[in-house]
Amino acid sequence: MSPHVDLSRAVGHEARRRGPLYSRLAPPVHDTLSIDDLRVKDTLLGLLDRLGWLDWALRQRDRRRYRRDRQSVARDEAFRAEGAPDGLALPPADLIYLVTRQFSPLAFFDSGVVGGGAIRGVLDDHGVDIAQLGAILDFGCGSGRVLRQWRGLDRVRVHGTDYNQTLVDWCRSNLAFAEIGKNELAPPTPYADGQFDLIYAISVFTHLNEPLQHAWMSELTRILAPGGHLLFSVHGPTRLDILDEEERERFDRGELVLRHQGYEGGNLCSAFHPETYIRDVLCCDLEVVDYIELGATDASQDVVLVRKSPARS
């Protein structure tokens, strides 16, 4: 188990440079939906769920809540007006919501810094210097929240891919340092066997059903170089509080727990992974190098680091 990365330092630099706007650690984004959001059986939300409008309805509700918080809106407008500290464009609010379930560009930016720092920290702990790798892939890159952290890595070929065309278009137009691909909800990708030394997927396996998870694990293994690493985040034992009794029993038996199948790829579909399921089922063909509880602090998720055998083609 890795020691936790000192994430406060990553944001603290900006806090010191730019004053009170940054004077706190970034809150986690794309947090799990609350029990009220997810256990919608008899309510109006339940009806919207059956009609397939639940995602839309939750977005409207979250937008109303956000707009009522005038202080945050003013802070976010000031942040947008000044521009992101990394000099790159900030996505429009709707594209921020699509990947983080909240509208704040400041939280989007800060949490990306924290997320990038966490990935670097986990890799460093295992002797991998991301700056020395040949090619990396952000699978499910969204609107580039974490991807943008790698702009300074001049020696590395930085790739991102997502199944959402709008997000892909935004990244292609605004993150020119990276090569952005578009895939479908299910594999394959056009990438060559063994193309990447590192693939990471933050808050992506958390939104896929079981067959899709297995299909993607095979595909990502195919495009990973022998000896290469795959880092992905999951809702693990640290999110047990969210599960109801019946779900918890299944989780304790080592089963993958899924909510809102039918919304695969979107934030509503939520997967909860017991560690044994990861080790014995999902990643049984890979070496599990580390499992770090809440390693993805930016997303309140656990981190799994696996490695493809150097002997495997």
Ligand X SMILES: C[S@@+](CC[C@H](N)C(=O)[O-])C[C@H]1O[C@@H](n2cnc3c(N)ncnc32)[C@H](O)[C@@H]1O
Which residues bind to ligand X, rule: CB under 6 A? 30, 99, 140-142, 145-146, 162-164, 167, 183, 185, 202-204, 207-208, 265, 267
Nearer to ligand X, 76 or 264 (CB): 264
CA dist 134 and 163 (Å) reads 24
| Residue 178 C-beta: closest distance to ligand X, Å | 13
Q: Is 305 helix (H, G, I), strand (E, B) or coil?
A: strand
| Residue 86 C-beta: closest distance to ligand X, Å | 15
| Residue 161 C-beta: closest distance to ligand X, Å | 6
Nearer to ligand X, 205 or 277 (CB): 205
Cis amide bond preceding 188, omega within 30: yes
Nearer to ligand X, 2 or 183 (CB): 183
**Distance of alpha carbon 29 from its chain centroid, rounded?**
9
| Residue 132 C-beta: closest distance to ligand X, Å | 23
Query: What are the residue ranges of helices labelled H in the chain?
Result: 7-18, 35-38, 44-51, 54-68, 70-82, 93-100, 105-125, 165-174, 210-223, 245-252, 275-277
| Residue 118 C-beta: closest distance to ligand X, Å | 11
Alpha-carbon radius of gyration of the chain? 19
Nearer to ligand X, 169 or 248 (CB): 169
Burial 90-117 (b: 16+ CB within 10 A, else e): bbebebbbbbbbbbbbbbbbbbbbbbbb
- CA distances, 150 to each of 88, 154, 175, 196, 261 (Å): 12, 9, 10, 15, 33
Nearer to ligand X, 172 or 248 (CB): 172
- Tell me, what DSSP letter sits at residue 235? B
| Residue 183 C-beta: closest distance to ligand X, Å | 5
Nearer to ligand X, 262 or 287 (CB): 262
